[in-house]
Structure 1
Amino acid sequence: MSARLAARLLPALEKELPAAGELRRRLHASPDLSGQEGPTRDLVLTELPGDEVHEVAGTGALVRIGGPGPAIGIRAELDALAVTELTGVVWASTRPGRMHACGHDVHLAALVALARAVAATRDAVPLVAVLQPREETYPSGARDIAESPLLAGERLTAIIGAHVQPTLPSGEVAATPGTVNAAADEFTIVVSGRGGHAAYPHLTSDPVLALAHVIVALQRVVSRDVDPTSSAVLGVSTLAAGSAPNVVPDEASASGTLRSMSDGVRERVHDRLREIAGLVARAHGCEATVTITHGEPVLHNDPGLAARAGAHLGMLGLTPSRTLQSFGADDFSYLSAVLPGLMMFVGVDDGSAARLHGARFLPDDDAVRNVARAMLAGYLAAAEAM
């Protein structure tokens, strides 16, 4: 069944790619930040065929293509980043300080091409386009969609995603079974002491010194508290303290990121972070308050979907890649926690040094075609499972 369906869908998809390329340029030129994606959503909706449209998660939408019954979900993200573009192309962002620097414009255009191909193909399995807001910030748009009764009402049998990846050569696609992305959390440590004149340190409890020792002590968590075959990331990224060189402040703070590939490691790192910060601060006569913001869960790919999609990639003109795992995070994991899911990584390395979230990141025209074909491979894999 899937071979016959692929034989009909691929030519229909190819027919849609020129228009998808133009749509990508329009999207790239008019990016919207997280939580403000209404105009981007509305532009995409004008290009999508659809039997039903439901607004979801504020500025997102679910669009059913191909009639009622069990369907396959394909997700693409709506939001851009607060980055000032430096690509120099004529279709660069017209909105200062906003840029599609993560490839979401490519994903959206590819999804539109596939949706239009499905709509034009007789007896194709229904597809639901999941237009997701707030992938780049908290609160997660994918979490809101996963928890929405609207998603449950769509009767999805699987959810498929594809993301551009500049660490892979153009044309390669990784459909890795099992764990592919980390859980991502953020933390803030506030150390409270007793401030005073810097010339009289014996009359103070210096929170700056205490926080410095906390940060150094935290470096042992990954190396000594986590099984080296599991690993994790605990990174301090911001520091703030004081307002004058001759004043010991009352508080000092730090924040950072926590990444883990399993729930057990995640809990262990959280516990040790709180414990070390509290005890080290107390040893310096201070108190530490730790706040942890839970972000995306670990992203797991359904092994069956990954295997079937991998088999289709070669037939669709793409090169199946090596296993790809990273401590990056994607809130697609909220969707794959409630549905059989597959996130694929589509190579866009063109030999330049441009990377995701960079001001010069600009996948070439082949990216729309390759992402659309990868989405088709996932769609066919899910259709086989049905």
Structure 2
Amino acid sequence: MSAPDVHAPVPPGEPDPALETWFDRLSAAVAEELPAAVELRHRLHADPRLSGEEQDTADAVVAALGLGEGRPVAGTGRLVRVVDGPGRCVALRAELDGLAVDEATGVPWTSTTGVMHACGHDAHLAGLVAVARAVARVGGPAPLVLLLQPREERSPSGAADVVASGVLTEERVDSVVAAHVQPQLAAGVVNATPGPVNAATDEFTVTVTGHGGHGGYPHTTLDPVLALAAIVVNLQQLVSRRVDPTVGAVLAVTQLDAGASFNVVPDTARARGGLRVMREEDRELLLQALTDVAEHTATAYGCTATVHSESNEPVLANDPEIARATVPWLARGGVTVDDGWRSFGADDFSHFCTGHRGLMLFLGVDGGPETADGRRPGLHSPRFLPGDEVVGEVAAALLAGYLAGAGLLGPVEAPAG
């Protein structure tokens, strides 16, 4: 199917009547696709695959699309073109992989394989299919491709590999849009924050080396455990004293490893953790400060320290133009729009934002029934399971992003008929 030719531009500031017509037509078509999309969600949820092993999931989604096999990308991923046409296009992305989680939801379509779609990827894929089938059936205002992305949940990043492959440049992708469920937002709210919305992430390991010995003769040792304990405490002051509190950062020590016996002082002790920032300059500052604190604190205890860090994802910064352009279409769909929520979570969608207009929309959901202590399950919980209505909500968000991206490509012609 080909995209229509463009017509004369609509004056700035006025709603494009052609896009409004497309919105009405495509919204109705998406609604017709939702029953099948919900069934697809159930099938995907019952039979998930781990990162790097998503071939069966990709095959199932491609079969549901009915648009051909698509183009392999990043190993088990696919790129599928829905609307052909010259010039630049809009891409919609959804993730293929599940997590190594034993599901505890109890629904008839529960996964029993030790792998679970505990992060909403099943709903993201199903909503994407609903939009794609609707556009394939009634047409669309701009060229459209689908990105079925592998390995979002672990390194090496599937998104980074997609970008490195050059396929988005070859396909002339202008905008990449995704939607992700988020139980920290109220159900019915869709977030479209311009600028940074998810953090950059780094992993780090601090290794302290001293001189071990008998626990009963501490004066004969240079205790790396004591030095490491001081380092961990000192690291907790870095964020509060080095980073603008209106921006924030997270430095978390989450693993400690030292010794094998209560009466033996070991030669080495290690701490591992993560660093999350919203600004690249804070990342560089804190990594250097982390090294300085570790080395100098260890020296004060007669030990030495080395720091190894590994960068994971960059800051996920939504393109302000497409974020703002999406808001009217979300509102037209009847949802409450939020444009200020941010989180120190991370998503490798951030790699798409470095060379394209990127937009990650977050959808507020109810993650499942409350526990006895009044808590609801969050992302990656074995009990996390938004209701099937989320498939339609994901589809509506992706449709809004597609229309916004189409409008940024230039003037649009109304559908025929």
- TM-score normalized by the length of structure 1: 0.97
**2:252 is the alignment partner of 1:229:** no
Amino acid at match of 2:391: V
Is residue 176–residue 359 contact of structure 2 (8 Å, CA) maintained in 1? yes
In 2, Cα distance between equivalents of 1:48 and 1:291? 45
**2:196 is the alignment partner of 1:173:** no
Amino acid at match of 2:314: P
Amino acid at match of 1:379: Y
Is residue 209–residue 304 contact of structure 2 (8 Å, CA) maintained in 1? yes
Residue 152 of structure 1 aligns to a residue whose secondary structure is: helix
Shift, 1:49, TM fit: 3.5
Residue 120 of structure 1 aligns to a residue whose secondary structure is: helix
Counterpart in the other structure of 1:161: 178
**2:207 is the alignment partner of 1:190:** yes
Residue 344 of structure 1 aligns to a residue whose secondary structure is: strand
Is residue 62–residue 69 contact of structure 2 (8 Å, CA) maintained in 1? no
In 2, Cα distance between equivalents of 1:3 and 1:221? 50
Shift, 1:68, TM fit: 3.8
**2:266 is the alignment partner of 1:243:** no
* Equivalent in 18, 28, 40 of residue 11 of structure 1: 28
Residue 107 of structure 2 aligns to a residue whose secondary structure is: coil
* Equivalent in 92, 99, 109 of residue 116 of structure 2: 99
Counterpart in the other structure of 1:363: 386
Residue 39 of structure 1 aligns to a residue whose secondary structure is: helix
Counterpart in the other structure of 2:95: 77
Residue 253 of structure 1 aligns to a residue whose secondary structure is: strand
In 2, Cα distance between equivalents of 1:349 and 1:288? 45
| Superposition pairs of residues 263-278 of structure 1, within 5 angstroms | 263-278=280-295
Is residue 230–residue 265 contact of structure 1 (8 Å, CA) maintained in 2? no
Counterpart in the other structure of 1:204: 221
User: When the two structures are aligned, how many residues end up with a matched partner?
Assistant: 385
Amino acid at match of 2:90: I
CA shift digits 1:47-79 (9 cap, x unpaired): 123367111111111111122432210110111
Is residue 49–residue 115 contact of structure 1 (8 Å, CA) maintained in 2? no
Is residue 51–residue 67 contact of structure 1 (8 Å, CA) maintained in 2? no
Please say which of residues 158-167 and 59-68 is displaced more in the overlay: 59-68
- Where structure 2 has 5 or more consecutive residues not aligned to the other structure, the ranges are 1-17, 371-375, 410-417
Please say which of residues 60-69 and 314-323 is displaced more in the overlay: 314-323
Is residue 118–residue 124 contact of structure 1 (8 Å, CA) maintained in 2? no
Counterpart in the other structure of 1:381: 404
Shift, 1:123, TM fit: 4.7
Please say which of residues 50-59 and 68-77 is displaced more in the overlay: 50-59
Residue 167 of structure 1 aligns to a residue whose secondary structure is: coil
| Superposition pairs of residues 117-132 of structure 1, within 5 angstroms | 117-132=134-149
Shift, 1:322, TM fit: 4.8
Counterpart in the other structure of 2:8: none
Counterpart in the other structure of 1:372: 395
Counterpart in the other structure of 1:354: 377
Is residue 141–residue 403 contact of structure 2 (8 Å, CA) maintained in 1? no
CA shift digits 1:33-59 (9 cap, x unpaired): 111111111111111233671111111
Is residue 302–residue 342 contact of structure 1 (8 Å, CA) maintained in 2? yes
Is residue 52–residue 64 contact of structure 1 (8 Å, CA) maintained in 2? no
Shift, 1:354, TM fit: 1.3
* Equivalent in 235, 238, 259 of residue 218 of structure 1: 235
In 2, Cα distance between equivalents of 1:90 and 1:220? 48
Amino acid at match of 2:233: V
Counterpart in the other structure of 1:315: 332
Percent identity between the two aligned chains:
53
Is residue 305–residue 382 contact of structure 1 (8 Å, CA) maintained in 2? yes
Please say which of residues 233-242 and 301-310 is displaced more in the overlay: 301-310
Amino acid at match of 2:403: L
In 1, Cα distance between equivalents of 2:274 and 2:37? 36
In 2, Cα distance between equivalents of 1:244 and 1:344? 50
In 2, Cα distance between equivalents of 1:245 and 1:197? 10
In 1, Cα distance between equivalents of 2:160 and 2:196? 19
Please say which of residues 119-128 and 87-96 is displaced more in the overlay: 119-128
Is residue 205–residue 307 contact of structure 2 (8 Å, CA) maintained in 1? yes
CA shift digits 1:262-310 (9 cap, x unpaired): 0111111101001111111122121112111101111111111111111
Compute the RMSD of aligned alpha carbons: 1.3
Is residue 83–residue 359 contact of structure 1 (8 Å, CA) maintained in 2? yes
* Equivalent in 70, 93, 96 of residue 53 of structure 1: 70
In 2, Cα distance between equivalents of 1:238 and 1:327? 19
CA 123–365 in structure 1, closer or farther in 2 if over 3 Å, else same: closer
- Where structure 1 has 5 or more consecutive residues not aligned to the other structure, the ranges are none
Residue 70 of structure 2 aligns to a residue whose secondary structure is: strand
**2:157 is the alignment partner of 1:140:** yes
Amino acid at match of 2:34: L
Please say which of residues 269-278 and 50-59 is displaced more in the overlay: 50-59
In 2, Cα distance between equivalents of 1:292 and 1:196? 29
Shift, 1:319, TM fit: 1.9
| Superposition pairs of residues 317-336 of structure 1, within 5 angstroms | 317-336=334-353
Residue 188 of structure 1 aligns to a residue whose secondary structure is: strand
In 2, Cα distance between equivalents of 1:109 and 1:263? 34
